[in-house]
Amino acid sequence: MKTCVKIIPALIAVLLLTLFSGCGYHNPNVYTGASKVIYVPEWKNRTSNLNLDSDLYRKLTEWFQYSSALSLTKEKAGADLILAGEIISIDLPSLAYDSADVASQVKVKLRIRYVLKDLKTNKILLEIPNQQWTDEYTVNASSSTNETSEDEALDSIVDDICKRIYQRTIAMVSQL
């Protein structure tokens, strides 16, 4: 009986230490601060890919849904921040050729720029003037497969871009 009396306070102490010490892990994809509305105007698309700006906005919307405290809008009225950007260029240089001198591997290069600004103070929180993202894909004999591979590579790049924009936005908004 005396052993149980001595163990119970020790167990309580260990439990309390565990609850209050935490491991220090922070998920970079979760923002739990004050609610913010972010105005995202249509990004200028300087490429020949007509839907690229729409795809980027759709992916940004998907990423920002991870946080219930941050929301995107296409209306400036009532917004706290603005996230404006431009799709500068897209390039498809060949990397490898087969025996018939036909490209067998291509790299998609997408360049963008964007800025995150506090609308109340006019302070620029984040400015990325020129950032390039790349992804490679293999060219197959069928042209429809090539287009699919290129689209998949571009989708991957757009998702990576939007994830990074989301994470950088969370980091900047957390400091406000």
What are 15-26's pLDDT values in tens digits?
A: 555 555 555 555
CA distance 62 to 51: 17
What are 27-78's pLDDT values in tens digits?
A: 666 777 899 999 999 999 999 988 999 999 999 999 999 888 999 999 999 9
What are 118-132's pLDDT values in tens digits?
A: 999 999 999 999 999
Report the chain's mean pLDDT, rounded to a whole number: 82
Indicate which CATH number applies to the domain containing 168: 3.30.160.150
Structural domain span for residue 113: 2-174
| Coarse DSSP helix, strand, coil percentages of the chain, rounded to the nearest 5 percent | 35, 30, 30
For 67-94, b/e burial (b = at least 16 CB within 10 A) is: beebebeeeeeebbbbbebebbebeeee
pLDDT of 144 higher than 50:
no
State percent of the chain over pLDDT 70.
70
How many Cα atoms within 13 Å fall on the side-chain side of residue 48? 2
pTM for this model (two decimals): 0.75
Overall number of domains in the chain? 1
